Amino acid sequence: MSTELIPKLDAIRAHELIELAHHRFSDHLHEAEERVLRDSASSSFPSSPAASCPLPPVRAKFIRWIIGDEEAHTFIDPRGIRVWGAAMAEELSLSDCRIPFPLDFRGCEFAAPLSLVAADTRQVSRRSRQRPAKSYGRRWRSEAVPLIGVHSHERHLSAGRR
């Protein structure tokens, strides 16, 4: 497959996923939620959020929808759902969910714990953002994810490093 074809395929998958979300997810989608859809359909990594920018909200029910909708799964890249630079203002309960792809929360803030009681998941990673020092650029640090009841195929959770 030619390398110039890959961005076109990513764009088609993202478009189809966004259309599906508008059709199935009856509420208006926030800009950050559309970004999650574009990033999760893409074979390339999204750009990192700026440390100085405010974090836009992503609703917990939106994340639960994308995880639970079988048709949406066909448009998700194998790298999984990528939520980068967003605020989760409510508890994200993924209890009893089967999550067939990785979840990557990078530069996100959680107002409540991430609940994975009896969830069946491949990988959950979280990298929090740090404010950049003067000329040292953007920094990421790994941290423990506040979790409730975890079962993973890998029997551990991945904490990303950069």
Angle between helix 60-68 and helix 31-41 axes, rounded to 10 deg = 30
Strands (E), 9-111: 81-84, 87-88, 92-93, 98-99, 103-106, 109-110
Residue 161 counted as domain residue: no
Per DSSP, the three-state class of 12 is: helix
Residue 142 counted as domain residue: yes
Q: Domain count for the chain, please give it.
A: 1
The per-residue pLDDT for 32 is: 94
The per-residue pLDDT for 160 is: 39
Per DSSP, the three-state class of 33 is: helix
Helix (H) or strand (E) holding 66: helix 60-68
DSSP strand pairing (109-110 vs 87-88): parallel
The per-residue pLDDT for 3 is: 61
Where in the sequence is the domain holding 21, given as residue range(s)? 5-152
Residue 160 counted as domain residue: no
Q: Which tokens hold the place of 89?
A: 């203002």
Residue 64 counted as domain residue: yes
Residue 162 counted as domain residue: no
Distance CA 115, CA 24 (A): 24
Rounded to 5°, the CA angle 136-88-63 comes to 115
Q: Which tokens hold the place of 6?
A: 């890959």
Within 10 Å of residue 47's Cβ, how many Cβ atoms? 10
Distance CA 87, CA 107 (A): 9
Residue 115 counted as domain residue: yes
Residue 159 counted as domain residue: no
Average pLDDT per block of 10 residues along the chain, 162 residues long: 76 96 84 96 88 89 94 96 94 92 92 89 81 39 47 42 39
CA atoms within 13 A on the CB side of 21: 29
Name the pTM for this structure. Answer: 0.78
The per-residue pLDDT for 1 is: 52
Distance CA 82, CA 66 (A): 11
The per-residue pLDDT for 84 is: 94
Residue 158 counted as domain residue: no
